Amino acid sequence: MNHLVIATRRSALALWQAEHVKSRLEALHPALRVELLPMSTRGDELLDRRLDQVGGKGLFVKELETAIAEGRADLAVHSMKDVPADLPPGFTLAAITMREDPRDALVSNRYAALADMPAGAVLGTSSLRRAAQAMERYPELQVKLLRGNVETRIAKLDRGEYDAIVLAVAGLVRLGLAARIRARLAIDDSLPAPGQGALGIECLAARAEVRAMLEPLEHADTARCVRAERAVSRALGGSCALPLGAYATTAGEALQLRALVASADGKRVIRARATGGDPEAVGEAAAQSLRERGADAILHGGQ
């Protein structure tokens, strides 16, 4: 093959991610020409409601997958935290790249830490996971919906619509906006989403020649960790309607995984840990531990 087309969302962050993969592929395969196919997705267009109310994470990837299925593109580049736990039949994640800083970031023109924010201060996020963990520790804050791309969210903060917002460190770093970060939230204070900070490259499983070209982009440790994190989500239903965090690290051959499930208001947060060598087994063990601690009541709408 001497030509590949990457389907990508149109946001500045998505385009950065696609360009990053493009440059790596062209460096690995000097005769290869890589083209981007920027697209708008339903997730980019429905900005007035939470994702869990309008169809979930799949809204960010469905149009890209359609372009691949129809032959208009050969692959798609995603933020792994936006990829549903189960892919459609016939699709595969051909590579998961080395993870950027997985933490959440506090961005504010007024406050250097969540603990500095007074009662009634407005914190913006689109993530149930981030909101629940913030409200668990700081129930006096007002947490309000914040949708849009990174630049749009920061512009709303700068207009004074929010006192602070929470974004992923990785996106800010990749866009050259690390200077806007006031605090990188500790992993245990704001457990990341499964896959946060890693990029995933999706293609058709039957395209062996495409998979072979993408294989060198895989970062083995990151991929093992992300597979364990995603296994938690899959075992619990895989829905973004669930405030769920999962983060794994490696220690030699062993994986160490932290996971949580929370009620949307943050009044009930259940945490679990699991260790082992097999990513899927570790993720399933953490999910089972969460269920044993009462996660089912939250999963089925209780508090």
With tokens 């933490």, the residue in question is 103
82 is catalytic: yes
194 by DSSP, 3-state: which?
coil
Contact criterion met (CB below 8 Å) for 203 and 210: yes
At a CB cut-off of 8 Å and minimum separation 6, what does 248 contact? 224, 225, 226, 228, 229, 255, 256, 257, 258, 279, 282
68 by DSSP, 3-state: which?
helix
Strand order across the beta sheet in which 254-262 lies: 244-251, 254-262, 269-276
Q: What angle do CA 130, 135, 140 make, to 5 degrees?
A: 140
Strand order across the beta sheet in which 91-96 lies: 33-39, 3-9, 75-79, 199-204, 91-96
Checking 264-268 for CB contacts under 8 A at 24+ apart, the result is 264/128, 264/131, 264/132, 265/132, 265/135, 265/303, 266/131, 266/132, 266/133, 266/134, 266/135, 266/136, 266/137, 266/139, 267/135, 267/136, 267/139, 267/303, 268/294, 268/298, 268/303
With tokens 């490259």, the residue in question is 201
From 74, 82, 104, 163, active-site residue: 82
Contact criterion met (CB below 8 Å) for 261 and 240: no
Give catalytic residues, as residue numbers.
82
